[in-house]
Amino acid sequence: FISRDKIVINVPVCTGRHQDDESSTPSLSMLNLTGSIVICRAKSGATILDRRPAPIRRGASSNSHLAELNSSGEAPPIHALMLYPDTYVSTSKRSSNNLVEYDYAFDVSEETILDAISLSYGASHPMLKGGTIISCMLESIYAHGSVFAREGAIADPSEKLRKRNFLRHLPAIELTAGIQKTYIPKQSTSYFDDGNTRSIPEMEGGRVMIQIIGGNGDESSLNSQKTDQIIVKEGIKIIADFGVSSFSSNSETNVNEFPELDIFEGSKLCTFILGTFDGCVIFHLRPQVMVEPRVSTGPNVFNPLEAYEIDFSGSSLSLRIKECSLNLGHRRVIVPTETTFAVNVIKSLVNMSFEGTTQCELSWDFQGSSPILQVTSPGNTPAQSSHEDRQQVPVLIKDLCQGRLNMEISPVGGLSFTQASTSREDKEGLYDWK
């Protein structure tokens, strides 16, 4: 429906379905979407909050009939204003006749699912050595939720599609999407090669779930039946939860000659790692909370790039190693089984230029054992030598086989380390072990 002052687009239902029962692996994909869009002329006196006037545009319009309508002083039709905004908004003094109110709402059904996608990436350059080929399978991709405009949404059609203008129109959203299974096929020839290091990766049992939440009310509107619902009133929060049940990497790196350490030409550092990892990345884009003015004039409300901030607090990443070894000639380092490393972001707040401070907690646990350095005579390898022909020594003292510490990143990139918080009063020093 289109009139002089309103545009209405209604999508009662949009369904797509693909089913293949004849293939060796039957597949089913489905999309189910409903929604509507309403665009109308803004009410008299309506304004855009913190709207920045656009520069004056000079030069005659190529559409003479539109220029004539504009010079008459009449309010242009809503569809013409959307298609030719520069014609009707030709001066820095703007009228509410040139602003539009909009509302939209779309729902993605829980029936929406994509059976499988195969991704392949390859990179090479005639001026560079090596190349990269990675193949990955994504199975059972799902999505469900809703996206809708926030209350009282007003837009200026003449605004350019810039990031600073887009931030003023963030939607209200509750959307969940994910991948139930992702892996690198064993029959693929995936590898990384930058001319100095060549690595062959393997992965299986990967999963990803992404939640996008914003503008879904406040704590007073929390449904008692949904005690785990996340409330985000301002901005948009993205929560990405991911994990891999098994991954491995077998790599070789060329090492420069160092005769004093018995490292000769042609030596390679061979690394093998097998393990699992999982994590959660939290990304909250929101207006800045100004406790006190940072400058004499206060925050720059005309530029959302300076009035918004990003909060990564609560993000975490953990790695568990099942097997890991590093070999260089007649030397080898073995990492204990079930070794774990973890990073927890205590507080991280940056502006739109990614300037700010970050506080992280780093922890490690070698399960009571130290990594072992093994050495044999030059020309042999520890794996091929007998127990009598090789020597070994622990790399860490017992107290450092488990611990944690705090790391702080300053706005200029400086690193500082402090003792992590602990409930054990009898432990002193930088490292805190259990």
pLDDT at residue 213 greater than cutoff 60:
yes
Q: Write b or e for each residue in 203-213: b if 16 or more Cβ atoms lie within 10 A of its Cβ, otherwise e.
A: bbebbbbbbbb
- The number of residues in the chain equals 434
Tens-digit pLDDT profile for residues 166-197 = 777 888 889 999 999 999 998 888 999 988 89
Cα distances (Å, whole numbers) of residue 12 to 37, 71, 104: 11, 40, 13
pLDDT at residue 201 greater than cutoff 90:
yes
Give the mean pLDDT of 128-136. Answer: 88
pLDDT of residue 282: 94
Cα distances (Å, whole numbers) of residue 146 to 203, 259, 333: 33, 64, 52
Determine the residue type at 341: F
Tens-digit pLDDT profile for residues 26-49 = 778 888 899 999 888 877 655 555
In angstroms, the CA 267 to CA 206 distance is 34
Alpha carbon of residue 52 to chain centroid? 30
Tens-digit pLDDT profile for residues 368-424 = 899 999 999 888 888 888 888 889 999 988 878 888 888 998 888 888 888 765 444
SS3 340: strand
- Nearest by Cα to 332 from 261, 383, 262: 383
pLDDT at residue 138 greater than cutoff 80:
yes
Tens-digit pLDDT profile for residues 261-284 = 888 888 899 999 999 999 999 999
Determine the residue type at 161: L
Q: The whole model's pTM is what? A: 0.78
